[in-house]
Chains A and B, each alone.
Chain A
Amino acid sequence: MSPHRERVAAALADGFRFGGLHATSDGAWVRTLLVAPDGSARLESVPVRDGRAPTIVDLAPAAGWDEREAHDLQGVRFDGHEPLRPLALHDLRLERWTVPVRGRDPYQVAVGPIHAGVIESGHFRFHVVGDRILHLDARLFYKHRGLERAAEGRTLEQGLAYASRACGACTVANGLAYAQACEEALGLEPTRGLARARTLLLELERAWSHLNDVAAICAGVGLAAGTARFLALTERARRLNARLAGHRFLFGSVRVGGSALEVDGRTARAAREELAAVRAESRRAWRELLFNASFQERLPEVGAVPAADAARLGATGPAARAAGLAEDVRSASPRLAYDGFEPAVPERAAGDVQARLEQRGLELEQTFALLDGLLDGALAPAAAERAAPERAVGVGRVESARGATSCVVERSGDVLRRLRLRTGSYANWPVVARAAAGGLLPDFPLVNKSFELCYACADR
């Protein structure tokens, strides 16, 4: 085994988790992000020789997409990763990017990139026998805008737009992961006030996002009443965002090195009251879901991902916790105001649609409680403080509504050399494919909605 692979294997054996892998923009180095149980992260680098680097996909299967991406976008080949299927490149024959499926009368159902509802673009190729799904090949990157490449050569300040606009639904999480990465590189630590403002923004994003996810699951079942009630709550949460930060999605609220968020005492009080009302209404609406038998009938054992598979594939966020993996970046976030945070795991952590729905309910309660505390009093603009020596590389990690989102920033002076954003959605897409396998084709929309991943976040 190469020394690089030995180092990665030793770290994984010591309890480190794979957190992402990227190639430098010139394709000269491959760096693997490893996350310790206490949340601290480190990068293991290996030089690319003759366009080749050793694979780690056998040690950490979650690195599969990362290595395929590094091949397509930076031209690195990974020795031992066979077949290295394309991820971002599309002009290739079907056999190159789909898994061969043989047997008695299997056929393929192609869906997308344009879907039937108001849904982002992406292509799914289902290998089925009748209605039974044998395997799903998801081909994303239809929305690939080359954001990371476009950010290279810009200043650290300018780079923020590329990270935060990668996804409108996760703009705070992505922007914050970027800001934290820059601040680590610049040797800056947030003050208490800055940590509080940012935690507030992150939880406001989670609140509307989780309410929207519950509405989406109701829509997946076809329960119009549930969809309507939770969409109405989503609207109220977005209006609250606009009142607090001037934008329904909180665009422009995250900055590198500080926060300009200013909320006076009266506005904070009014926001607390509105959140209490949204929480009460969301509990009432939730109770109606619980007592709707035909709705509940559709949920258990659909799209199940066993805990071992979730861990192996690198599931994260509500999808991982619903399978029983009690992991949440918020429980180890010294740069944010999450003191004493404990990840929530449902009693019945079956990793199916029902568990993922229940997980949203548990996390909404946590988020409402956090927001109530964070809005106790006015918020003033705040800045980060110099606390450590400067470095060329910084890493930021944040728990978005879809899971762990990490950002690596490589710089020389004030110029960005590489920006890598690995979002919760990116990590979870291979898990969706696992959840679909063995299930029924007509259940897939519901399974997909129970993850409610962003395509924009993955494609960048």
Chain B
Amino acid sequence: MLTLLRDLRRQRRRLALAAPDRGRSLALRHVDAGSCNGCEHELTLASGPHYDLQRFGLGIVASPRHADVLLVTGAVTTRMHEPLLAAYRAMPEPRRVAALGDCALGCGLLGAAAELVGPVEAVLPVDLRIPGCPPTPAEIAEALLRLVDGRL
């Protein structure tokens, strides 16, 4: 276990983002509105040992009731439209919406018009755009840090 912790510390020093003093935090609630699962896999690694978003105060929470930011992946499908709105409505103010990945931003959308409502912006006010197909964990981390630092 101690070896593991030492390894992790070394990995972080070698590979990860700079960690200036940050006094704030944001609770994130992820909603998959119709992704290809690529953004989910990169978001998972953003919380993994190489990037470790938690040490910046960025944590994924289990309920929208506990969330500051709704992190939405994928183009919004007709079947996810209502659940997405329900998650947003459940969030306390102030709340932000981040669109994660090109599909959520409406770039290069694939699918049948009858099955898709459109990009996240067609449904919710978007505060943060994180482009990429999918965005890498480093890109996700940097975009979210801009949000936590209030540089947005």
- State the A residues within 8 Å of B (CB): 90, 113-114, 116-121, 141-147, 149-150, 161-162, 165-169, 171, 212, 225, 228-229, 231-232, 234-235, 238, 248-249, 251, 454-457
Q: 17 more A-B contacts (CB under 8 A) besides A231-B48, A232-B49?
A: A113-B80, A114-B32, A116-B62, A118-B30, A118-B60, A121-B32, A142-B34, A143-B74, A146-B111, A168-B36, A212-B44, A228-B48, A231-B44, A235-B48, A248-B136, A249-B41, A454-B37
User: Are B45 and A234 touching (Cβ within 8 A)?
Assistant: yes
User: Are A114 and B50 touching (Cβ within 8 A)?
Assistant: no
| A229, B62: Cα distance in complex, Å | 23
Q: Does B18 count as interface, using CB distance less than 8 angstroms?
A: no
| A231, B38: Cα distance in complex, Å | 15
Min CB distance B105 to A, Å, is: 15
With beta carbons under 8 angstroms apart, the residue of A90, A146, A161 that contacts B116 is: A146
Contact with A along B1-33 (1 / 0, CB 8 A): 100100010010000000000000000001111
User: Are B37 and A234 touching (Cβ within 8 A)?
Assistant: no
User: Are B48 and A120 touching (Cβ within 8 A)?
Assistant: no
Give chain A residues whose Cβ lies under 8 Å from the Cβ of B116: 145-146
Q: Does B133 count as interface, using CB distance less than 8 angstroms?
A: yes
User: Are B110 and A162 touching (Cβ within 8 A)?
Assistant: yes
| A150, B116: Cα distance in complex, Å | 11
Min CB distance A210 to B, Å, is: 13
User: Are A150 and B48 touching (Cβ within 8 A)?
Assistant: no
| A142, B75: Cα distance in complex, Å | 12
| A121, B72: Cα distance in complex, Å | 11
With beta carbons under 8 angstroms apart, the residue of A121, A144, A168, A251 that contacts B33 is: A121
Most buried by B among A114, A147, A166, A457: A114
User: Are A142 and B79 touching (Cβ within 8 A)?
Assistant: yes
Closest to A123 in B: B83
User: Are A143 and B41 touching (Cβ within 8 A)?
Assistant: no
| A231, B75: Cα distance in complex, Å | 27
Min CB distance A307 to B, Å, is: 29
Tell me whether A117 and B34 are in contact in the complex, defined as CB-CB below 8 angstroms, given that A142-B83, A146-B114, A234-B45 are known contacts.
no
With beta carbons under 8 angstroms apart, the residue of B37, B43, B115, B136 that contacts A145 is: B115
Give chain A residues whose Cβ lies under 8 Å from the Cβ of B134: 168, 249
Contact with A along B40-68 (1 / 0, CB 8 A): 11111101111000000000101100000
Report the 5 A-B pairs with minimum CB-CB distance, sorted nearest first.
A168-B38, A146-B112, A145-B111, A231-B48, A146-B115
Q: Does B128 count as interface, using CB distance less than 8 angstroms?
A: no
Give chain B residues whose Cβ lies under 8 Å from the Cβ of A149: 112, 115
Closest to A164 in B: B36
User: Are B60 and A143 touching (Cβ within 8 A)?
Assistant: no
Min CB distance B102 to A, Å, is: 11
Tell me whether A117 and B8 are in contact in the complex, defined as CB-CB below 8 angstroms, given that A144-B79, A144-B115 are known contacts.
no
| A121, B1: Cα distance in complex, Å | 34
Give chain A residues whose Cβ lies under 8 Å from the Cβ of B11: 232
Q: Does B137 count as interface, using CB distance less than 8 angstroms?
A: yes
| A333, B62: Cα distance in complex, Å | 43
With beta carbons under 8 angstroms apart, the residue of A118, A165, A228, A455 that contacts B110 is: A165
User: Are B37 and A167 touching (Cβ within 8 A)?
Assistant: yes
Instruction: Tell me the residues in window 109-146 of chain B with beta carbons closer than 8 Å to chain A beta carbons.
Output: 110-112, 114-116, 133-134, 136-137
User: Are A231 and B45 touching (Cβ within 8 A)?
Assistant: yes
A-B contact pairs, 20 of them (CB 8 A): A113-B80, A117-B30, A119-B40, A120-B37, A121-B33, A143-B80, A144-B77, A144-B115, A145-B111, A146-B111, A147-B112, A161-B110, A167-B36, A168-B37, A168-B39, A171-B36, A212-B44, A228-B8, A232-B11, A235-B137
Min CB distance B108 to A, Å, is: 9
Tell me whether A118 and B44 are in contact in the complex, defined as CB-CB below 8 angstroms, given that A90-B79, A144-B79 are known contacts.
yes
With beta carbons under 8 angstroms apart, the residue of A113, A119, A162, A232 that contacts B83 is: A113
User: Are B45 and A145 touching (Cβ within 8 A)?
Assistant: no
Give chain B residues whose Cβ lies under 8 Å from the Cβ of A248: 42, 136
Tell me whether A232 and B48 are in contact in the complex, defined as CB-CB below 8 angstroms, given that A145-B77, A162-B110 are known contacts.
yes
User: Are B31 and A121 touching (Cβ within 8 A)?
Assistant: yes
User: Are A456 and B49 touching (Cβ within 8 A)?
Assistant: no
| A231, B53: Cα distance in complex, Å | 14
| A235, B140: Cα distance in complex, Å | 14
Closest to B51 in A: A235
User: Are A116 and B63 touching (Cβ within 8 A)?
Assistant: yes
User: Are B37 and A455 touching (Cβ within 8 A)?
Assistant: yes
| A232, B87: Cα distance in complex, Å | 31
| A189, B6: Cα distance in complex, Å | 51
Min CB distance A444 to B, Å, is: 16
Min CB distance B144 to A, Å, is: 13
| A265, B23: Cα distance in complex, Å | 48
User: Are A238 and B45 touching (Cβ within 8 A)?
Assistant: yes
User: Are A141 and B44 touching (Cβ within 8 A)?
Assistant: no
Most buried by B among A145, A150, A169, A234: A145
Give chain B residues whose Cβ lies under 8 Å from the Cβ of A142: 34, 77, 79-80, 83
Give chain A residues whose Cβ lies under 8 Å from the Cβ of B77: 142-145
User: Are B32 and A143 touching (Cβ within 8 A)?
Assistant: yes
Give chain A residues whose Cβ lies under 8 Å from the Cβ of B49: 228-229, 231-232, 235
Give chain B residues whose Cβ lies under 8 Å from the Cβ of A114: 31-32, 83, 87
Instruction: Tell me the residues in window 64-92 of chain B with beta carbons closer than 8 Å to chain A beta carbons.
Output: 74-75, 77, 79-80, 83, 87
Give chain A residues whose Cβ lies under 8 Å from the Cβ of B115: 144-146, 149
